[in-house]
A = this chain, B = another copy of it.
Amino acid sequence: MRVLGIDPGSRHTGYGVVDGDGDRLLTVACGSVPLPASLPLPARLGRIFTEISRLIQETHPEEMAVEDVFVSRNARSALILGQARGAAIAAGIHGGLRVFEYSALEIKQAVVGYGKADKNQVIHMVRFLLGPPDLSDLHAADALAVAVCHIHARTFSRRFRVADRP
């Protein structure tokens, strides 16, 4: 299956498209949409929507996975982050994708095997699993991690479903 992972942010929104079937994983595309602070907010949200819509048309993912942000900062920054997330999810739904959400804990457990892993460990494992040419873009790396998490979750649920059969 082909999955689009999204790491939403108001300054950079990362994306990563991954083909995966169990342990075989391949990066189809990854990068991030830069959102200059000089742009008014509606224009930034429009750019997120347009770029993700274009990516969906070009790479044809079947499902979308987005990190379910845990908010510890103030309400104003949560509102701004929420808007970026809303525009990204709207692009996914508009592109006909089913959208799934994962907590940071679930992503770390799926990628590193340890829920309290730090950011460097996640990036290291993403690089090990996917080996993309360039992972200096941390937003892209985060987006790839969400996609990998979703592929793992899907593979496990499929295995369980097969196991459930009489």
Contact = CB atoms under 8 A, between A and B. Distances in A.
Interface of A: 41-43, 45-46, 48-50, 53, 66, 69, 71-94, 98-101
A61 to B, nearest CB: 14
11 contacts: A42-B89, A46-B89, A48-B90, A75-B78, A78-B79, A79-B79, A79-B85, A83-B86, A84-B86, A85-B86, A86-B88
Contact of A89 (B66, B79, B87): B87
A42 B72 CA distance: 22
A80 B77 CA distance: 12
Given A83-B83, A83-B85, A87-B86, A46 B78 contact: no
Contacts of A46: 89-90, 93-94, 99
Contacts of A48: 90
A94 B92 contact: no
A102 to B, nearest CB: 12
A15 B1 CA distance: 38
